[in-house]
Amino acid sequence: MIFTRSELRSIGLTVVVMAAAAFTHYAKAGGSIAPFVISGIALALLASLVGRSVEALGDRLGAGATGVVQSALGNLDPGPGPPQAIAPQGTWTTAAP
């Protein structure tokens, strides 16, 4: 597998931004806004890499297999987090664990 210069640059930038997001979060640097913004940028870069990867896979495998991969990626569990529930008053609350 050979990466183009543009792909290597994109991967490198994503790694740097992810490291910056982790640093600002764990070092509690920049309050709560900086880690949030930097994490959003890292997430956008990661989504771009996943999109490029699926397109490259589609070029190799064909339309049918690419559709399976896209549907599998679209149905991924977002991971652990607090479940959200709508309270009877219509306001959003975090459900009890």
Q: Is the pLDDT of residue 1 over 50?
A: yes
Q: Which domain holds residue 34?
A: 5-94
| DSSP 3-state of 16 | helix
- Cβ 75 vs Cβ 51: under 8 Å: no
> In which residue are the tokens 């900086």 written?
34
Domain count, the chain: 1
DSSP state of 83: -
Q: Is the pLDDT of residue 58 over 60?
A: yes
**What percent of the chain has pLDDT above 70?**
74
The pLDDT, as a whole number, for residue 50 is 83
> In which residue are the tokens 């009877």 written?
88
**Whole-structure pTM over 0.75, yes or no?**
no
State how far Cα 45 lies from the chain centre.
Answer: 8
